[in-house]
Structure 1
Amino acid sequence: MAGRWIERWEPEDDTFWRETGRSVARRNLFLSVFCEHVGFSIWSLWSVMVLFMGPAYGVDPAGKFFLISVATLVGALVRVPYTFAVARFGGRNWSVVSSLLLLVPAAAAWFAMEPGTSYTTFLLIAAVAGVGGGNFASSMTNINAFFPLREKGWALGLNAGGGNIGVPVVQLVGLLVIATAGAGHPRVVLAVYLPLVALAGLCAALGMDNLAPVRNDKGAVREALREAHTWIMALLYVGTFGSFIGYSFAFGLVLQTQFGRSPLQAASLTFIGPLLGSLVRPVGGRLADRFGGARITLGNFAAMAAATGVVLYASVDASLPVFLAGFIALFALSGLGNGSTYKMIPAIFQTRALARGLRGEEAAAYGRRLSGAAMGLVGAVGALGGLAINLAFRQSFRAAGSGTAAFVAFLACYAVCSAVTWAVYVRRPARAAASTAPEPAWAKV
């Protein structure tokens, strides 16, 4: 696929950015948001399909949790190759291919969603739906290359938030179908998304661009793998994005299983949390631009721990209103933290460039190179956090019939993430802050 290639791209050059770069970058950003949005919808499709799977399907709650866990796992694993596909094939070219690939799981679900289909078939189709999770990694890597450092928080937050909102949108579509056609018509949901997938591929083909300066750099991958900050940020992203995607996939099932909600009742509540989490993600990026990603992230983890305490209390007390309030707060905070943690990644590698004695465009190019490679790794590990959440719920419900034990584990996770953020990025020991700059870029950008 030849595509359209832009040979010169220098977003840190103010004149270039003002006269040429900004308009091109924003066009690619908005089309990227749409493609990623559809990808997230297909990735989270099975959080909706399980609500349609009544007793006639013969799948118990543990089996349903495992279905969405499989989709989460595959979505996490494919993020690594998807990240490097942008450099190999071009951002526009890969957006076309990755969007059209979503036709496979959507069409397969169309044929399979009826009683009598084997559980193995459902597992395979849920696994294929995981390719939608890979679109996030390639989209973020692509958009990261388009924008200057000073605007990355806003751009990455908007790109990711617009993609994340695909989760509540597909859940809203499921709610409308259940409320109007009934829980026996899951194919109506798929009838909505099949043409949207085709439209996403068409928009990418007609309106997006490839950046020639972004080339596949195996050295950058190896260097990012050796960099301790890549893995520290991956841990923090487990706490934020892992929470968002894990809770998004599991929320409806938790309401059905622990609080006895019907499919319609569960669907009428499921979308609220993911919607808030998606909408505030750009806010997290913007706050990080202004006050520093590390400071926002630390405060966010502390607030997530507090909200988990509320959910834990409500789970033990069987109070649905308190449970909903705490859980929705968790969604909003996870979205805010998604924006602030992802903003930290390019700032960290910009600081590493300064520590190596680089300056100007050379430092900016080094930061883009390493942060682009690290984003795929961080995104993949972070999505595995969603798998851990779904498996924790599955085990908790299987052993005790409630999610209480799982919430205790989540509380411990947020405590660890808070401690790591403070120790490495807020307290700023000399080893982490070693740089010719008086303060690390992640603390002030």
Structure 2
Amino acid sequence: MTAPDTAPAASRGGRWIEHWDPEDEAFWQESGEKVARRNLLFSVLAEHIGFSVWTLWSVLVLFMGPEYGLTPADKFLLTSVVTLVGAVVRVPYTFAVAVFGGRNWTVISASLLLIPTVAAFTVMEPGTSFSTFLLVALLAGFGGGNFASSMTNINAFFPLRKKGWALGLNAGGGNIGVPVIQLVALAVIGASGGPRVVLAIYIPLIVLAATLAALRMDNIASVKNDTGAAIDAAKDAHTWIMSFLYIGTFGSFIGYSFAFGQVLTNEFGRTPLQAAYLTFIGPLLGSLIRPVGGRLADRFGGARITLYNFVGMAAATACLVFASMAKSLPLFVSVFVVLFVLSGLGNGSTYKMIPGIFHAKALAQGLTGEAAARHGRRLSGASMGLIGAVGALGGVGINLAFRQSFLSYGSGTGAFVAFLAFYGLCFAVTWSVYLRRPDAQSTTEVAAETKSQLSYAEV
């Protein structure tokens, strides 16, 4: 079997692989796995820095005391804007991989992170207007787009049987950027440093991530910009169903990551340092568990893991309502950490479902072998940007819900009640679409539908 050809194409510069067939077992064992793992490693690094920059403002607001003149509602609005921009840019970032190449776009997108970081370094001081802070926070949303392009790129490198693990590891390694920057902030606050110290730490790390991507990653020539795939994915109902479910998992993870510290300071009277001691634990465990969610989905089926995961998230949220009303900090923090873990587990299982669903649909259309795998990769790659973008909007909703809850009730209890209802709805959708057996109608219909449902149950 021919090894991957990484020589530059005649008409293009940079590292381009002209032949790539991960579904071919001989190709994969001989050389494909080594190349895929190398690209995964440096993709994780670049995405990790992207997540850190995206969630910069979840820690910067902890430094912004009374001298900044911002209300709790102002701070929730700042984090909402960051989350919103990060969600929106995921769509163009997804298709940028096919336009520029996965390696090339990783270099570009990592380099773009210098803009919000340097801008925040420049303006972060008392006396700066709220509108200026809002504009600079908006720029930090660029970091949220890196996830979509990274996942689309890595999706093309791995065979279907390993996508759950690979995508979970890629996303989990990126998600860890959230607790890492919170730990950095904890160290800086503990050393009586200011927010500019945090920013100064990340500027050289951004340069390092871009440089390593340029030196060690590859582009896959067969991953082309396919407008038709984007249109087909947008027309497919499963793209929007999975977007809805991803709001429940990733939307929760990123929304809580931004909001947890502010909830602790506003509802439980914790100081920024006391909050920083607690905020990193949940995102860290949620990030580490994401590959496990992908691995469990590979083994037992993403739909099953996702279904039971929403049961756990609903139960944890009900406990948070009680803890919030009882003003019990130990119970609140403990259950919030559990909720973070469950959101990370669900992130892995839902993202594993995406390629599985489109591969199952390809088989149902009569495609087999590489043709089915290629069709599945085409649509799953296109859908991931849309699903990632809509899912991230859940983070906006969470921060706005907390903002309104604190304005109306002075606590986060009202927001948690709304989240509880939403997780119940996610459970119902997962069960009815991917796991419910169809009612008997006709012999032909039952046979066809049962086959489809069984296939979806395994995705």
Measured in 2, the distance between the counterparts of 1:335 and 1:162 equals 11
Partner of 2:236: 227
The one-letter code of the counterpart of 2:389 is A
- Whether contact under 8 Å (2:186, 2:273) holds in the other structure is yes
Could you say which residue in structure 2 is the equivalent of 1:131?
142
In the alignment, what sits opposite 1:272? 281
Cα 1:328–1:38 change in 2 (3 A) is: same
- Residue of structure 1 equivalent to 2:9: none
Question: Hey, what does 1:363 align to over in structure 2?
Answer: 372
Q: 1:46 aligns with which of 39, 57, 60?
A: 57
Conservation of the 8 A alpha-carbon contact between 1:223 and 1:370: yes
Q: TM-score, normalised by structure 1?
A: 0.98
Distance 1:379 1:438 in 2: 25
Cα distance between partner residues in 1 of 2:281 and 2:183: 9
Aligned equivalent of 1:291: 300
Instruction: State how far apart, in whole Å, the 2-side matches of 1:196 and 1:227 are.
Output: 39
Please point out which of 303, 310, 321 is paired with 1:312: 321
1: distance between equivalents of 2:358 and 2:449? 11
The answer to whether the 8 A contact 2:435-2:456 is kept is: no
- Cα distance in 2 for partners of 1:32, 1:309 equals 37
Could you state the TM-score of these two structures normalised by the residue count of structure 2?
0.95
What aligned pairs does 1:45-194 form with structure 2 within 5 A after superposition? 45-182=56-193, 185-194=194-203
Contact 2:435–2:453 at 8 Å: present in 1 too?
no
Which residue of 351, 354, 363 maps to 2:363?
354
User: Which of 395, 400, 407 is equivalent to 1:398?
Assistant: 407
C-alpha root-mean-square deviation of aligned residues, in Å? 1.4
Contact 1:348–1:440 under 8 Å retained in 2: no
**Structure 1 segments unaligned to the other structure (5+ residues):** none
Q: Which residue is equivalent to 1:418?
A: 427
Matched residues in 1 for 2:99 and 2:305: separation? Answer: 34
Cα distance in structure 2, aligned partners of 1:129 and 1:369: 30
Over 3 Å counting, the alpha-carbon distance change for 1:104 and 1:438 in structure 2 is closer
**How many correspondences in the alignment?**
443
- Residue 248 of structure 2 aligns with which residue? 239
CA–CA distance in structure 2, aligned partners of residues 172 and 429 of structure 1: 49
Offset of residue 440 of structure 1: 4.2
1:428 Cα deviation from its structure 2 partner:
4.4
CA drift at 1:435: 7.2
1:366-377 equivalence runs, <5 A: 366-377=375-386
1:443 corresponds in structure 2 to: 457
Query: Are the counterparts in 2 of residues 84 and 138 from structure 1 also a CA contact under 8 Å?
Result: yes
Offset of residue 309 of structure 1: 0.5
How many Å apart are 1:409 and its aligned residue? Answer: 0.3
| 1:215 paired residue number | 224
One-letter amino acid of the counterpart of residue 235, structure 1 = F
**In the alignment, structure 1 residue 248 sits paired with structure 2 residue 262:** no
Give the structure 1 partner of residue 8 of structure 2: none
Distance 1:435 1:212 in 2: 37
Asked if the contact 1:109/1:125 (under 8 Å) is kept, the reply is: yes
Equivalence for 1:25: 36
2:457 corresponds to which letter in structure 1? A
Shift of 1:355: 1.3
Give, in angstroms, the shift of residue 222 of structure 1.
Answer: 0.6
Q: Which residue of 1 aligns with 2:3?
A: none
Deviations 1:396-444 (A, max 9, x none): 0011110000000000000000000010111143889947957644422
Give SS of 1:114's match: coil
Cα separation, partners in 2 of 1:167 and 1:434, compared to 1, 3 Å: farther
Asked if 2 retains the 8 angstrom alpha-carbon contact of 1:354 and 1:436, the reply is no
Equivalence for 2:6:
none
- The one-letter code matched in structure 2 to 1:28 is N
- Partner Cα distance (1:132, 1:214) in 2: 23
Q: Does the 8 Å contact 2:438/2:449 carry over to 1?
A: no
Residue 325 of structure 1: how far off its partner (Å): 1.2
- Could you report, residue by residue, the CA deviation over 1:132-182 in whole angstroms, capped at 9, with x for unpaired residues? 000000000000000000000000000000000000000000000000124
Please give the secondary structure, in 2, of the residue aligned with 1:213. coil
- Deviation of the 1:24 alpha carbon: 0.3
CA contact (8 A) 1:284 1:340 kept: yes
Deviation string, structure 1 residues 162-205 (Cα, Å, up to 9, x no partner): 000000000000000000124xx111101110000000100100
- Write the deviation string for residues 295-316 of structure 1: whole angstroms up to 9, x where unpaired: 0000000000000011000001
Q: Tell me if the contact between 2:436 and 2:453 (Cα under 8 Å) persists in the aligned partners.
A: no
**1:102–1:154 distance in 2 versus 1, CA, 3 Å:** same
Equivalent residues of 2:233, 2:239 under 8 A apart: yes
